[in-house]
Structure 1
Amino acid sequence: MSRAQCPRCLRPQTHCLCDLIPQLDSHTRVVLLQHPSEVNHALNTARLAALGLTNAELRVGEVFEDLHTLLNPPGYQTRLLFPGEGAQPLQADAAATEKLLLVVPDGTWRKARKLLHLNPLLAQLPRVTLPEGAVSRYRLRKAPGPGALSTVEAIVQALDILEAPASYAPLLRPFEALIEGQIEAMGADTYQRNHVTEPPL
């Protein structure tokens, strides 16, 4: 028998995160395009980000038929938060006359690249990246490389840059609780054995 699920955060009712999810405003609009394989993942951080931001939208799919309309709201300039050739470091632009629409693919690196391949309009967007050196709090997945962040962490860092001096750190509260809950569920011994690495000498 399956456990009762919260319809909002999709966590088991006994581990609902809704009380920790803030409601934060932003001038920047965030559109998250989530690969379907991530929807039922226990660590679905894109959903947490979308729930915590009033000016955010989460879409799930591999091909998005209304992408042209989604990417071109009046009065916005659109950027894709994804590394690649020609990607510019993200920075606040006080002189900008248009607001920013930040498009964030959500999935493994391979699945995110697939979203770009299946949706050529995405691949054509100007790209922006986060500053180097970010350290993830995501202690349950091995990062594919230095600076790799979960989706919610990347969004928090991006908005902290774009909307300074405002802080979007409250978005990380449910994320931290999610991580702690997963560690507790697997047991300290299993976590230490499989996820904690010895610091280099």
Structure 2
Amino acid sequence: MPRIQCSRCLRPQSHCLCPLIPRLDSRTRVLLLQHPSEVNHALNTARLAALGLSNAELIVGEVFEDLPALLNQPGYQARLLFPAEDALPLRACAASDEPILLVVPDGTWRKARKLLHLNPLLAALPRVTLAEGGVSRYRLRKAPVPGALSTIEAIVQALETLEAPTSFGQLLRPFEALIEGQIAAMGEDTYQKNHGG
């Protein structure tokens, strides 16, 4: 028998995260472009970020027909959160008078690169990066590179850089509960064997 799912957070009703999801305002607008393969992922952190931020939008797809309209938000300068040789550190944008439309591709690195390849307008955006040395709380997955963060962690760090001294740490509450739940489900011994140390 299929488990009943929460229509908002998409978690099984028995593990609904909605009570932990805050509703935070931000000057920065966050546009999450999610690869379809991430939608049913157990740790869909992009969805949690979109639910927790009042000035955020999540769109699922590979080719985004509405991209010109989505990127042309009056009063915002669009920036792509993605590494590149010429990417500006986000803190360089923090002093700007004009708020940022932070475009965040969500998927594995390979899928995120594919989104950029399939959407030349996206690839052409000026890029910004997070400060190095971020440590992920995502204890269930080996990071592909040092400092790799989950989507929600990257958004929290980006917003805290752009809107200091405002804290967006509350956004991580459902994410942390999700991880704790997964660790509990696998059992401490299995977790230590596969992810400990």
**Aligned residue identity for 2:7:** P
Q: How does 1:26-41 map to 2 (within 5 A)?
A: 26-41=26-41
Deviates more, 1:182-191 or 1:39-48: 182-191
Deviation at residue 85 of structure 1 after TM alignment? 2.1
**1:185 to 1:57, Cα distance in 2 relative to 1, 3 A:** same
C-alpha separation in 1, matches of 2:93 and 2:154 = 19
Alignment-derived partner of residue 118 in structure 2? 118
> Is 2:95 aligned against 1:66?
no
Task: Describe how 1:17-166 pairs up with structure 2 within 5 A.
Answer: 17-91=17-91, 93=93, 96-166=96-166
CA deviation after TM superposition for structure 1 residue 122, in Å: 0.6
Q: 1:92·1:163 contact (CA, 8 Å) conserved in 2?
A: no
SS of the residue 2:180 aligns to? helix
SS in 1 for 2:182: helix
Task: Give, in angstroms, the shift of residue 187 of structure 1.
Answer: 1.1
Match of 1:10, SS? coil
Label 1:58 to 1:186 Cα distance change in 2 as closer, same or farther (>3 A): same
| 1:97 CA drift (Å) | 3.5
Contact 2:94 2:163 in 1 (8 A): no
**Could you say what secondary structure the match of 1:6 adopts?**
coil
Percent of residue pairs bearing the same amino acid type: 80
How far apart, in 2, do the equivalents of 1:2 and 1:80 lie? 38
Instruction: Write out the 4+ residue segments of structure 1 that deviate beyond 3 Å after TM superposition.
Output: 92-95
Q: Return the letter of the residue paired with 1:37.
A: S
Give the total of aligned pairs.
197
- What is residue 193 of structure 2 aligned with on the other side? 193
Cα distance per residue 1:164-194 (max 9 Å; x no partner): 1110000000000000001111111111111
Letter in 1 for 2:149: L
Do structure 1's residue 13 and structure 2's residue 13 form an aligned pair? Answer: yes
Provide, for residues 133-185 of structure 1, a one-character-per-residue CA deviation record: whole Å limited to 9, x for no partner.
01000011110011100000000000001111110000000000000001111
Cα deviation per residue 1:18-53 (whole Å; 9 max; x = unaligned)?
000000000000000000000000000000000000
Q: Structure 1, unaligned stretches of length 5 or more? A: none
Q: What TM-score does the superposition give when structure 1 sets the normalisation length?
A: 0.96
